[in-house]
Structure 1
Amino acid sequence: MSAAGLVGVALLGGAVGVVVPPLARRFTTMPARLRRGAWSSPPVAAVVFVGLAVARGDDPALPVLLAVAAVGLVLAVVDLACLRLPDPLVLVAGLLALAGLSAAALLAGTPGRLLGALGGAAVAGAAHVLLALLPGSRLGFGDVKLAVVLGLPLGWLGRDALLTGLLLPHLLHGALVLGLLAARMVRRDTLVPVGPALLAGAWLAVLLG
């Protein structure tokens, strides 16, 4: 992608970041600590968007990845605020991913990639259902539904991206929990949201895949 294109994507990400906090407030009351950090949403969103554009600028599914990332930013803020991934937001992300990838596959004449996307969603869903059913698991079924949605673009990108996207979020989440415990910021029974780790891990998997 050209430099001008990247600048445009960065500006689009910044604009998305501006609307993330007010959209998140529609689904939850944001704690003061998150309201104070709302100023950081535009640069974070810009980095997320530019990273996707640099990594996947030649992929016909780039607009889909950006759309899912935009909804994902709102989901991350809501989950951090109230440990909840609202079904309407997850559904919007899923519909954007499915419809967008279907259109991209048809326009590019690569129907096999759509099958890969559907397979990725199935694998991600099955894996996270098993994790959620394990004794003592703190994985909620909102997390499972989000994993299914993220499995669509990861499956589109191929097996390596899918496997990375399945494993990396849990490594990130585990490292975060250990760090918080070491810093005595949480206790062993404190619930730490998994949604942001799922989203961050999927984003990194797209960059690395």
Structure 2
Amino acid sequence: MSALLVTGVALLGAAAGWAAVPAGRSFVPDTDGRVRTPNRSVLALVGAVVFGGLAAARGADPALAALLPVAATGLVLVVTDLTALRLPDPLVGLVALGGGLGPAAATATTGEPRHLAVAVAGATLSFIGYALLALLPRARLGFGDVKLAAALGLPLGWLGWPALRLGLILPHVLAGVTVLVLLAAGRVRRDTPVPFGPALLGGAWLAAVLG
């Protein structure tokens, strides 16, 4: 993909990031009017990096058209999880829908069910793996995290097993590093709830770019 098109996609991502804050706020209960949400300029920058990175890595790959809506919804989920430790089902459903449309379209076009089968396998493996982790004693994963992991398994499975493996491993690396940094900075304690959704989404993005 040309630099001009990558820039255009990055600008689209900046707009998605800017819009993610009010969109996410609509899913967050705000009974006292004092709910704090992420800075819109920061989210716009994140959106530009996310969209631009996908465009640069995937180029003319048909998967890009399915990954961008997933990424846009993911930005809204980052807002809801950072704000209220919530991963609303409608948004997770949109991630699953966006991630499933690509494999379904590829299957309908080529008549070969392989893409769809691998995508479903990716979602299944992600669901089982994260569900088992959530059931462990003192686990900090919620069922919203499990559902999001399964939804992200669809596009990652479609991209192939290397991307799926990275998507299963990288969120834990990102979450671990983030918690260590926050602990060292005195921003959290060992018993402070820390949202896992951003790590899931960040790991999936890295897997899509690198896988």
The amino acid across from 2:18 in the alignment is: V
- Structure 2 unpaired stretches of 5+: none
- Structure 1 unpaired stretches of 5+: none
Aligned residues of 2:175 and 2:199 also touching (Cα < 8 A): yes
Aligned residues of 2:122 and 2:153 also touching (Cα < 8 A): yes
Deviation at 1:14, TM superposition (A): 1.8
Deviation at 1:83, TM superposition (A): 0.5
Give me the whole-angstrom Cα distance separating, in 2, the residues matched to 1:160 and 1:39: 33
Confirm whether residue 177 of structure 1 aligns to residue 179 of structure 2: yes
Q: TM-score of the superposition, structure 1-length normalised? A: 0.94
Deviation at 1:22, TM superposition (A): 0.9
The amino acid across from 2:22 in the alignment is: P
Aligned residues of 1:64 and 1:101 also touching (Cα < 8 A): no
Aligned residues of 2:164 and 2:207 also touching (Cα < 8 A): yes
* Greater alpha carbon shift after TM alignment, 85-94 vs 103-112: 103-112
Q: 1:139-164: CA deviations, max 9, x gaps?
A: 00000000001001110111111111
Aligned length: 207
The amino acid across from 2:201 in the alignment is: L
Confirm whether residue 126 of structure 1 aligns to residue 131 of structure 2: no
Deviation at 1:126, TM superposition (A): 0.4
For residue 84 of structure 1, give the secondary structure of its aligned residue in structure 2.
coil
Distance 1:3 1:110, change over 3 A: farther
Identity of aligned residues (%): 57
User: In the alignment, what sits opposite 2:149?
Assistant: 147
User: In the alignment, what sits opposite 1:22?
Assistant: 22
The amino acid across from 2:184 in the alignment is: A
User: Within 5 A, what are the aligned runs for 1:1-209?
Assistant: 1-28=1-28, 29=30, 31-32=35-36, 34-35=37-38, 37-107=39-109, 110-209=112-211
Deviation at 1:112, TM superposition (A): 1.1
Runs of 4+ in 1 over 2 A off after TM superposition: 29-32, 104-111
Give me the whole-angstrom Cα distance separating, in 2, the residues matched to 1:150 and 1:78: 17
For residue 138 of structure 1, give the secondary structure of its aligned residue in structure 2.
coil
Provide the alpha-carbon RMSD of the alignment: 1.5
Q: TM-score of the superposition, structure 2-length normalised? A: 0.93
The amino acid across from 1:49 in the alignment is: F
Give me the whole-angstrom Cα distance separating, in 2, the residues matched to 1:8 and 1:109: 33
* Greater alpha carbon shift after TM alignment, 78-87 vs 102-111: 102-111
Give me the whole-angstrom Cα distance separating, in 2, the residues matched to 1:88 and 1:153: 18
| Higher-helix-fraction structure | 1
Aligned residues of 2:171 and 2:203 also touching (Cα < 8 A): yes
The amino acid across from 2:2 in the alignment is: S
The amino acid across from 1:51 in the alignment is: G
For residue 155 of structure 1, give the secondary structure of its aligned residue in structure 2.
helix
Distance 1:81 1:41, change over 3 A: same
For residue 55 of structure 1, give the secondary structure of its aligned residue in structure 2.
helix
The amino acid across from 2:193 in the alignment is: L
The amino acid across from 2:61 in the alignment is: D
For residue 20 of structure 1, give the secondary structure of its aligned residue in structure 2.
helix
Give me the whole-angstrom Cα distance separating, in 2, the residues matched to 1:52 and 1:110: 25
Give me the whole-angstrom Cα distance separating, in 1, the residues matched to 2:9 and 2:41: 19
* Greater alpha carbon shift after TM alignment, 63-72 vs 108-117: 108-117
